Structure 1
């Protein structure tokens, strides 16, 4: 496991109490103001001037970009909930590049820090500071002073051994401008004579902003879709009228290796989960890690009888070949 590991005594002693106050990084603030302003302009142009082909094209790009974020960066690389053939990894890498959110390597590193220090000042998206901070402000402030030290504590060996991720990391600043900006923005202008301004604002700013907020919702989901076990009134929030509140987001932070746990408060449902299952049926994905009810009972019983940590016992009871065996999966890609 690469997350939720206990830090060493020396490292823990070196960490200060939670009194760090984030400091705004004004270049980042100005960039977010610019991005969101142009995205709103893109939304206005979409409603009043854009062709239907451009709107469909926008939905297409956002949908596939989401697969790159959820099924790719999050479940495949950050948590290793399943393994995928190299064509799938290349596809998901390109789709993640559409988000313009940096390399997969940097995203995985930050997400593993987020899991390891969840709910503390060392968490880059500390939900205890509120939804606005977790969702937006955390991307406009300077990093914690201990960030370089925290990065050294994270085991990234698996990512460093992934040729697809390292290729993107090496050539990101060539891939992203060409593939994620120039080509996708030029397509509507070239193929169905869309206005350049509409294409730049919609396919450029609006698409990137939607994907960024979708990506930022992954660490913020516990606030929106999750119930706070320590707050008796958490279920009384008006969000119950808009979204389904449950403990599944908290479940994800306990057992992050379960491929069925959705990013937005669901379990065993959603397009990303279905996408992974389809890949498994096509023998392009395998090792879909999950845990059955019997496995949970076994893990809890083991913890009760042996005194071992519950998380460790549940990890030992997890099932990594459940769907593989059911489908007879034996991938030919390596």
Structure 2
């Protein structure tokens, strides 16, 4: 499934292999959990524990400051952004992509079936560490999690290796508060490549540094789980992003160490990066805008699949503290399934959602209810 999103055409052996993978018990297990959670959602216990937000919250970690955004955009027109390339990052990403291409070839023609499943599992877990942890929990405070859940999310976030959670959440709060300005780390006004990955290849804009320093991050620094990750980030990444993904296939099903490293470590890491980056680029480019036609963000099916539920970006920018981040069905929003599973186990509480009447009013005033209905009919 993950490979298909890269746009490669499969035929013959590769098609058979991909179809067989989609029939794996682990793949169907996720859909079974989704179905059970749907039934649980209608139960009285769920209704007693779910938190409904009847009105938009003014401090939404962080709602866009439209007046400040307009002023900053006008200011940026007077001065073209100065781009200073960080050549170390350029060479590192070139090396990573070369290694990922080698890993892709091995995954298609040389790796064992178990390694293919392992790559898929690692991508799913790592992505959920970003989407369910760094994004929905810590950047937006869209739900609360008890200590064991926070530890779990921190560890699987380390699989993704996308900076520590405090830094990730800080950048993301800047993105929401000052969207598409020079204080937005990956502003689409500087082009799709910049929004996708170019922002990691250059030095940060001075306006981003200035505005980012104004954010209140005390809630992040007060969390001992995040401080532990920040202080031990490189060892955690070394273990969870590279060492364990390589060693486990060798130890448990006799995979070649060479193949294991290039597929489960390098290719998987690179693919997860691009899946996340597509939210910053593709999800501000192609898709539906039923909730806010004036925003650059869009709802996109394929980014939902690749990034385990993050593709409802027009919805998310409109209602940033809704833990679901979209109205898409659970089979497209595996991160929601993870959070709801945590709630069923008593590890997650205070899940914030937006009331239906608020959504309808927003669509009527700033979006298009007909477009919303059409989109939901397609996406379930």
- Please tell me the TM-score bracket, short chain as reference: 0.7 to 0.9
Relative to structure 1, is the Cα distance of residues 65 and 32 closer, same or farther in structure 2, using a 3 angstrom cutoff? same
Matches within 5 A, 1:76-95: 76-95=137-156
User: Quick one: distance in 1 between partners of 2:301 and 2:234?
Assistant: 43
**For each residue in 1:69-90, what CA deviation from the matched residue of structure 2 results, as whole angstroms up to 9, or x when unmatched?**
1111110111011001111111
8 Å Cα contact 1:93-1:164 kept in structure 2: yes
Relative to structure 1, is the Cα distance of residues 67 and 243 closer, same or farther in structure 2, using a 3 angstrom cutoff? closer
Give the match's secondary structure for 2:352: coil
User: Quick one: distance in 2 between partners of 1:195 and 1:275?
Assistant: 32
**For each residue in 1:179-209, what CA deviation from the matched residue of structure 2 results, as whole angstroms up to 9, or x when unmatched?**
3212221111222221121111111110110
Give the match's secondary structure for 2:183: coil
In structure 2, the gaps of 5 or more residues are 1-58, 305-310, 367-380
Relative to structure 1, is the Cα distance of residues 46 and 83 closer, same or farther in structure 2, using a 3 angstrom cutoff? same
For residue 278 of structure 1, what is the aligned residue in structure 2? 341
Matched, 1:141 2:205: no
For residue 352 of structure 2, what is the aligned residue in structure 1? 289
- How much has 1:7 moved relative to structure 2? 9.7
User: Quick one: distance in 1 between partners of 2:262 and 2:333?
Assistant: 29
Matched, 1:200 2:261: yes
**Aligned equivalent of 2:76, options 6, 14, 17:** 17
For residue 257 of structure 1, what is the aligned residue in structure 2? 321
User: Quick one: distance in 2 between partners of 1:29 and 1:146?
Assistant: 23
- How much has 1:241 moved relative to structure 2? 10
Aligned pairs, number: 291
- How much has 1:133 moved relative to structure 2? 1.9
Matches within 5 A, 1:54-93: 54-93=115-154
- How much has 1:299 moved relative to structure 2? 9.3
User: Quick one: distance in 1 between partners of 2:161 and 2:362?
Assistant: 40
Give the match's secondary structure for 2:155: helix
User: Quick one: distance in 1 between partners of 2:329 and 2:222?
Assistant: 30
Relative to structure 1, is the Cα distance of residues 201 and 299 closer, same or farther in structure 2, using a 3 angstrom cutoff? closer
**For each residue in 1:131-151, what CA deviation from the matched residue of structure 2 results, as whole angstroms up to 9, or x when unmatched?**
222112122111102333222
Matched, 1:116 2:177: yes
- How much has 1:123 moved relative to structure 2? 1.1
Relative to structure 1, is the Cα distance of residues 172 and 289 closer, same or farther in structure 2, using a 3 angstrom cutoff? same
User: Quick one: distance in 2 between partners of 1:289 and 1:104?
Assistant: 21
Matched, 1:130 2:194: no
- How much has 1:254 moved relative to structure 2? 2.5
For residue 4 of structure 1, what is the aligned residue in structure 2? 63
**Aligned equivalent of 1:33, options 84, 91, 94:** 94
C-alpha RMSD over aligned residues: 3.3
User: Quick one: distance in 2 between partners of 1:145 and 1:295?
Assistant: 37
- How much has 1:286 moved relative to structure 2? 0.8
Give the match's secondary structure for 1:121: coil
Matches within 5 A, 1:217-256: 217-220=278-281, 221-227=283-289, 229=293, 248-256=312-320
In structure 1, the gaps of 5 or more residues are 305-309, 311-334
Give the match's secondary structure for 1:198: helix
User: Quick one: distance in 2 between partners of 1:96 and 1:80?
Assistant: 16
**For each residue in 1:244-291, what CA deviation from the matched residue of structure 2 results, as whole angstroms up to 9, or x when unmatched?**
9xx9522321320011114xx947651111221222222211111111
For residue 107 of structure 1, what is the aligned residue in structure 2? 168
Relative to structure 1, is the Cα distance of residues 112 and 240 closer, same or farther in structure 2, using a 3 angstrom cutoff? closer
Matched, 1:96 2:157: yes
The runs of at least 4 consecutive aligned structure 1 residues that moved more than 6 Å come to 239-244, 297-300
